[in-house]
Chain A
């Protein structure tokens, strides 16, 4: 890995990475890459987020869906753990709560495959200083 030697380097790196993450989010082939983020803080893991994450990784591959599954920190909805965020290409991210394996299966079959919403969406109820991330979210 090359070291970041100057502030200019850091800025360039930031832009590159923003592009990269954007590409990952919207996909090289925008119609196919799905991104799933699983809240994996202590609270999430204690409620079974690890199993759900493994389930998504295995099942999305098995069912031939081009996707990236990543972990993230606490989303703050401790009452609804495990929580996940699904971003379909071209759509705003959606957060689902109380995701066990059965719910995960429903999300894959209905939302990820057909874009059909399923029960258990958690609406975004806050403002962030990174306003752009919320645009168009429920």
Chain B
């Protein structure tokens, strides 16, 4: 028998360590320590009900177990074989006690469609992919469905582009299919550029064949025989695995001429990007593939009408493609039964920042932020207070406490002043300054602006400068109006998505954290204590023993004082590096 105890950060903070030792002691006293083993596990993703205990092989799931429950668990469950009713989870709506975790809602919080093979198959062996239905969807469309029927399935499924915009995938395919041309192209956008997003990389590294298969399906639907994957050179492992996958698919005849004897030809090549953020925008991506500068051009014409080499080109993101084969095999009705009214299926999020379980999660659309952060994500690191979550990277905005219970989908996020983006989710806690965060994203967009149009090239730079002034404590209340006006102008007048969205972090922090901006400009204070220029280091005359440790470590010799006498920091010289504070053993250095 085994007793599994959750050792995730959430459960640990509610005393699961003591629970483990109490259980082990109880077993020892009852002479059962050889037969029953107590094992600490990772997070069960049900932190609000922690600590979690699971008894095997009975498969009984206990919640909220305290160290004082240990004797009863051993006496009743382990020795007498009776389930402890009072420690079972009670379904909040039906009030029914649930024994097996499989019947609990939290298990249903994550549903893996796009990630179905990630972490299961060896990505470098096509055989493992085929064994798990790889290329079966391609086989089905080639032999049983017409291109029009296939497009209809995708349309009916309600799948929307996972790259961020959320345009109907089926509609995009239909437009490309209807465009008349002697040559068409299928492009996979693997230029994942949002800081903190890594789901596309993980799919390409874990299940490259699903993307190849899906592109071939698209080729069949739109009448293209050539596929191109635009991938950034910074993803060497994904590139290596894609190359292996393409090679194996060709060997098996699943790419190339006359696929499955149906007369359908399709082949795929790679194109490397140099890692420019703007090349995630489809027109810029196409120009980059053509060997031109990676700059966007005005739409229309849309790539579906006039794209790569002037020919109709269907551009979809990696995660979008990864959803196609299951839709073909399981049907549009199945897919559209998952999610919300206007956003169907699941979305993969890359959880990063101040959250315990950093990682990739795939949840049905309509899951709330609270479920993602506090249950799947295991809560905020170090039990700090949640402040905000940035979704959509530099193009998105921040969502706060009041947005925690809003179901996540494309339209709700936009209504809250953020966006889905590619699915990066950066969690921010009470120690983070929102002005600095907006400044960080602007720094990124200033760097990544291609420079083609002035609102973005010049406007973002000015935005950055105003933010910098504010974080230095030299901002004025008028600067806040300037930020807002300039942001609106940039949004309204930029050519492409980069400029149209780059002021979003500024606007959403202004909307949600006005008091932090005001503290910076009116009182020259940073409430989170992150803006260095607004801090002053002091030495507490009571605590200082005159050990000279701080003076020795100071890189600019700003600290003076005789041995065994109180030291002093010269604020004019101090560069606020914090070295003295780290060094002091007597808590004599403080910040205000």
**A residues touching B (Cβ–Cβ < 8 Å)?**
1, 3-7, 9-11, 13-14, 17-18, 20-21, 37, 39, 41-43, 45, 70-80, 85, 97, 116-123, 125-130, 133, 138
Contact = CB atoms under 8 A, between A and B. Distances in A.
B136 A41 contact: no
A85 B118 CA distance: 13
B522 interface: no
Contact of B139 (A10, A97, A118, A120): A10
Interface stretch (B65-73, B197-205, B452-460, B567-575): B197-205
18 contacts: A3-B252, A4-B252, A5-B260, A10-B130, A21-B128, A41-B202, A41-B205, A41-B237, A45-B237, A70-B122, A76-B119, A76-B361, A117-B4, A119-B41, A120-B40, A121-B4, A126-B362, A127-B108
B116 A7 contact: no
Interface stretch (B302-310, B352-360, B540-548, B557-565): B352-360
A125 to B, nearest CB: 4
Nearest to A85: B119
Contacts of A9: 260
B251 A1 contact: yes
Contacts of A21: 127-128, 131
Given A10-B139, A70-B122, 8 more contacts: A14-B131, A18-B131, A42-B235, A74-B360, A77-B359, A125-B43, A126-B109, A128-B112
Contact of A74 (B43, B118, B132): B118
A74 B130 contact: no
Interface in B19-47: 37, 39-46
A14 B133 contact: yes
A13 B130 contact: yes
Contacts of B376: 125
Interface in B114-145: 115-124, 127-128, 130-133, 135-136, 139-140, 142-143
A118 B39 contact: yes
Nearest to B7: A119
Contact of A73 (B110, B130, B132, B205): B205
B254 interface: yes
A10 B142 CA distance: 12
Contact of A78 (B117, B128, B330, B360): B360
Contacts of B124: 71
B39 A121 contact: yes
Contacts of A97: 42
Contacts of B356: 79
Given A6-B261, A73-B119, A1 B112 contact: no
B52 to A, nearest CB: 9
B332 interface: no
Contacts of B113: 129
Contacts of B227: none
A125 B260 CA distance: 38
B39 A117 contact: yes
B370 interface: no
Nearest to A42: B237
A73 B207 contact: yes
A72 B121 contact: yes
B344 interface: no
Interface of B: 2, 4, 6-7, 37, 39-46, 54, 56, 106-113, 115-124, 127-128, 130-133, 135-136, 139-140, 142-143, 198, 201-203, 205-207, 235, 237-238, 251-254, 260-261, 326, 330, 356-362, 376
Contact of B123 (A3, A42, A73, A120): A73
A138 B254 CA distance: 37
Contacts of A138: 4, 41, 54, 56
A56 to B, nearest CB: 14
A10 B356 CA distance: 43
B253 A130 contact: no
B292 to A, nearest CB: 30
A17 B125 CA distance: 11
B134 to A, nearest CB: 8
Contacts of A133: 120
Contacts of B111: 126-129
B198 A43 contact: yes
A20 B40 contact: no
B131 A17 contact: yes
Contacts of B132: 130
B116 A130 contact: yes
Of B7, B120, B123, chain A has the most CB atoms within 10 Å of the CB of B120
Contact of A7 (B40, B119, B121, B139): B139
Contacts of B139: 7, 10-11
A128 B253 CA distance: 29
A123 B143 contact: no
A107 to B, nearest CB: 12
A37 B54 CA distance: 25
A27 B545 CA distance: 70
A127 B116 CA distance: 9
Nearest to A124: B107
Contacts of B362: 76, 126
B243 to A, nearest CB: 16
Contacts of A117: 2, 4, 37, 39
Contacts of A7: 139-140, 142-143, 260
Nearest to A117: B39
B171 to A, nearest CB: 24
A100 to B, nearest CB: 15
A123 B41 contact: yes
B130 A129 contact: no
A4 B252 CA distance: 6
Contact of A72 (B39, B112, B123): B123
Nearest to B203: A73
Contacts of B128: 17, 21
A76 B359 contact: yes
B349 to A, nearest CB: 10
Contacts of A6: 260-261
